[in-house]
Structure 1
Amino acid sequence: MEPVRFISTTNVQPKNRTDQITRIELTPCDVQCLLIGPIQKGLLFHKPTPGYEEDLNKKQSLNLIQHLKASFSLTLDIFYPLAGRLAITENDGDNTTSFSVDCNGAGAQFVHAAADGVTVAHILDPVFVPDDIVYSLFLMNGVPNYEGRSKPLLAVQVTELVDGIFIGLTMNHSIGDGTSFWNFFNTWSEISRTGAKPSKAIPIFGREYLDGIIDLPIRIPFFNEQIQEKFLLPTEPLQQRVFHFRKEKIAELKSKANAQMGTSNISSLQALMGHLWVSITRTRHLTSSSTDDQETKYLVIVGTRQRLQPPLSDHYLGNAVLFGWATSTAGDLIKRGLGWAALELNRMVASQTEQQVKKFLEDWFDKPRLLTRSAVVRSHSFVTGSSPRFDVYGNDFGWGKPVVVRSGSGNKFDGKLTVFAGAEEGSIDFEACLSPHTLRALAEDEEFMQSVAV
């Protein structure tokens, strides 16, 4: 394909923010993300009809790009810390570094681009995700989060295709998690569609929930010596495919998993993750020299907002997650099958209690540790982030709902299984990033593909 053509770049600042908070301290959940990459998710839309563009011009004397930029600025009035920069403080005397968000209104980046030869079908139709196209629709590829001291914490690239529009949003992961990311996206689309600021989307910036657990600011010893290892663009050959699971098939897997284990506790998502864990391990096992005693792990990023008492609001802007591992050997996992795998994931998620959250915060405060590639990316392991609860397909900017969601290059590696709500009610999509031979073997696995909507 021809390279994306950049038409304009604008530094967008909040217009009407109130300076109630000028600095926000980063928590352990925030700071641990400094060395990894940003969140990059984007939505593909069919191009608005000429009637929509004419109506927009009559009402507001704006074209589509100007309208999106104006509504983006209004959204920053609400989420004004995202227009700031990371503040990095070198503490005197103890060789430690502290981190906060300076809510200085420096601005977020808005880029208008065009992919002249790319159609909606070029993104939708291929069996494998066309990474060369999709990755070019996002900004700040390969930029680790700690560079937010000089680079924007939020950047959007609006790319005009031949017959569509792709809105690719990039958010510094030290500032927020998936819940924060989609709260911004949802609010922006609502403002764009309605022209008014929503009354129920006011984000919460305070860190009061940490009172009595740990003190801020966090002090990281020898930070500058740790930035050598970070999550950059993947170097190994990888391919991606989105597997779509319909509501009925998910219900079958859930029923089967619970019946096998004599329980009713396994959720739909846990059954689906167990199915993927067993199926991919089986295909890896058959296509490599793996032995039965090869360890395989599944890391699930678990939200903690509802695990705290009182619960932390979904509108809290920041990271509120724990990392839970389920572990087995390849041989045992394949032999025990779906029910056992799903129940192990269920038990791991259930173990992430309020007490576990507090223990993580206290332990981390005493011995800080940053996420690195070697700490997360392990042979024969899997990681699932995002959530089917996030409102992806409700993001109507004024000319219709998105066709599909895609993610950028940030934090991709062999075994990354990103989950999204499907376009159909009750359906779920998994974006599987795997080695090419594993992904091909998975597509030839009849047992697995029987569960996939083709």
Structure 2
Amino acid sequence: CNDAGVEFHHSKCATSFIRDVIAPVYVPELVNEFFSFDKTVSYQGHFKPIMAIQFTELPDGVFIGCSINHAVTDGTSFWNFFNTYAEICRKISNNDPSIEKISRQPEFSRDSRIFSFCREAILELKAKVNSNNKDKLLVNEDFNAFEKCYFDKSVNLNGIFENWLFKSSNIANTAEISSFQSLSALLWRAVTRARKLPVSKTTTFRMAVNCRHRLNPKLDPLYFGNAIQSIPTYAVAGDVTSRDLRWCAERLNESVEAHKDERVRGYLKEWEKDPRCFPLGNFDGASMTMGSSPRFPMYENDFGWGRPLAIRSGGANKFDGKISAFPGREGMGGVDLEVVLAPETMAAIESDPEFMQYVMN
């Protein structure tokens, strides 16, 4: 440890308002300036603090940017820390006598754009993936998430989609695909189509998975540290684009289900034999990486001013094909995906009917 502590910066931005941060369809470059360690690489943790907090005052609100070295902690630990930091600040401002007790005690024993998906759209997508009978498919091909979620308020959508899920999940000898895997498969297909890759080109879809519960014995859910691994799933572009959504989702599901204790430890043993830097990026033009998680308690960060209005990430670990998943602010199973793509690829998926029918913004 270099004993550099944690940097804290108090900044003021008099020319930009909340609307300038969260209203644009594309995430503005301004957001990167709210993070102290923007453009800092992991190795610089040997010389710089491993963490920095930047508190930026806007004319009509504040932005709290928290940067931490990913070699030290993963998303689970990061958001547990951020929630705890907010809880302590809130208790201090309220003179709360329970300041010494925190709710989630950590365990220390060892071009970017936001695409929003409402719960109904995700359930519809999951139902589609889990139905392998095209003749009896229980979904409407003309489904429009924006229209359903915002204009048809009188319809009991939750009941309709739950009924679809109940019926379509009753398939013998077939593993159920999760909502998140269904959403990932949708992205895999859309981006592969948009990139116009040769049919024989191998594509890669990586998913960052939490290994705490995959080990035997399991780690504590609040184990503080970096306990994630990146799981690759491979398929040629021709298969990704010509086969159906379920086929892609099944490939992702198989990769995740196979990643258990033996494989987790095997990855570590192989790395010890042959240490190497993780190949972050899209070097072959056919890769995608899904990071973060809609399960992280991002909107529970109440510093005493109420819940956050929005979640945005900075420029770290961003490249063509990087996707970051956030929970929707309203909860109820909604998901926001921060997607970074080359301009021509982004333009193509924005006009992809299979993809955009589920997007609500």
Contact 1:119 1:164 in 2 (8 A): yes
Q: 2:295 aligns with which of 385, 389, 396?
A: 389
Counterpart code for 1:156: I
**C-alpha contact 2:84 2:103 (8 A) present in aligned 1:** no
Q: TM-score, length-normalised on structure 2?
A: 0.84
Residue correspondence of structure 1 range 430-449 to structure 2 within 5 A: 430-449=337-356
Q: Aligned partner of 1:241: which letter?
A: R
Instruction: Tell me which amino acid in the other structure corresponds to 1:171.
Output: I
CA distance in 2: counterparts of 1:123 and 1:449, whole angstroms: 23
Give how far 1:279 is off.
1.1
Which residue number corresponds to residue 35 of structure 1? none
Please report the RMSD computed on the Cα atoms of aligned residues, expressed in angstroms. Answer: 1.5
Q: Which amino acid aligns with 1:257?
A: V
The match for 1:127 among 25, 34, 37 is: 25
1 CA distance for matches of 2:283 and 2:294? 23
TM-score (norm 1): 0.67
> Which ranges of structure 2 fall in alignment gaps of 5 or more residues?
93-98, 134-170
Q: In structure 1, what is the equivalent of residue 227 of structure 2? A: 320
> Contact (CA 8 Å) 1:241, 1:432: kept in 2 or not?
yes
**Which secondary structure does the structure 2 equivalent of 1:112 belong to?**
strand
Equivalent residues in 2 for 1:58-77, closer than 5 Å: none
Aligned to 1:279: 190
Q: Deviations over 1:218-250 (max 9, x none)?
A: xxxxxxxxxxxxxxxxxxxxx111000000110
CA distance in structure 1 between the aligned counterparts of 2:46 and 2:108, rounded to whole angstroms: 19
In the TM superposition, what whole-angstrom CA distance separates every residue of 1:430-453 from its partner, at most 9, and x where no partner exists? 100000111111111222111001
* Residue 11 of structure 2 corresponds to residue 113 of structure 1: yes
State whether residues 245 and 428 of structure 1, in contact with CA within 8 Å, keep that contact through their aligned partners in structure 2.
Answer: yes
The residue aligned with 2:160 is none
SS of the residue aligned with 2:300? coil
**Distance in 2, Cα, partners of 1:274 & 1:435:** 19
The letter for the 1-side match of 2:176 is N
Aligned match of 1:175: 72
Q: How many positions carry a matched residue from both structures?
A: 315
Q: How many angstroms does 1:187 deviate by? A: 0.3
For 1:338 and 1:198, how far apart are their aligned partners in 2?
47
Q: Distance in 2 between matches of 1:194 and 1:310?
A: 36
Whole-angstrom distance in 2 between the partners of 1:380 and 1:364: 24
Partner of 1:92: none
Runs of 4+ in structure 1 off by over 6 angstroms are none
Q: Say whether the 8 Å CA contact 1:293–1:329 is kept in structure 2.
A: yes
- Alignment equivalent of 2:263, drawn from 353, 356, 366: 356
Residue 108 of structure 1 deviates from its aligned partner by: 0.4
Write the mapping of 1:340-351 to structure 2, written as runs, cut at 5 A: 340-351=247-258
Contact 2:88 2:102 in 1 (8 A): no
* Counterpart contact for 1:257–1:266, Cα < 8 Å: yes
Partner SS, residue 346 of structure 1: helix
| One-letter identity of the residue aligned with 1:407 | S
Aligned residue among 152, 161, 178 for 1:267: 178
Cα distance in structure 1, aligned partners of 2:80 and 2:102: 13
Q: Are the aligned partners of 1:324 and 1:349 in contact in 2 as well (CA < 8 Å)?
A: yes
- Contact 1:377/1:413 (<8 A) preserved: no
Aligned partner (choices 55, 58, 71) of residue 158 of structure 1: 55
CA 1:165–1:377 in 2, change beyond 3 Å: closer, same or farther? farther
Read off the aligned partner of 1:127 and give its amino acid letter: V
Give the Cα separation in 1 of the matches to 2:271 and 2:130.
35
Distance 1:181 1:378, change over 3 A: farther
Letter in 2 for 1:395: N
Letter of the 1:110 counterpart: F
Contact 2:186 2:245 in 1 (8 A): yes
Contact 1:420 1:429 in 2 (8 A): yes
Over residues 257-305 of structure 1, what are the superposed CA-to-partner deviations in whole Å (9 max), with x where a residue is unaligned? 11138534200000000011111111222xxxx3111211101111100
Cα distance in 2 for residues equivalent to 1:382 and 1:275: 12
1:121 aligns to what SS in structure 2?
Answer: helix
Alignment of 1:351-430 (within 5 A): 351-373=258-280, 377-425=283-331, 426-430=333-337
**CA distance in structure 1 between the partners assigned to 2:251 and 2:11 by the alignment:** 46
Question: What SS is found at the alignment partner of 2:121?
Answer: helix
1:146 aligns with 2:43: yes
- 8 Å CA contact 1:394, 1:401 repeated in 2: yes
Aligned residue for 2:115?
Answer: 243
CA pair 264-362 structure 1, distance change in 2 beyond 3 A: closer
Higher strand share: 1
Q: Kindly provide the amino acid, as one letter, of the partner of residue 164 in structure 1.
A: G
Q: Deviations over 1:44-78 (max 9, x none)?
A: xxxxxxxxxxxxxxxxxxxxxxxxxxxxxxxxxxx
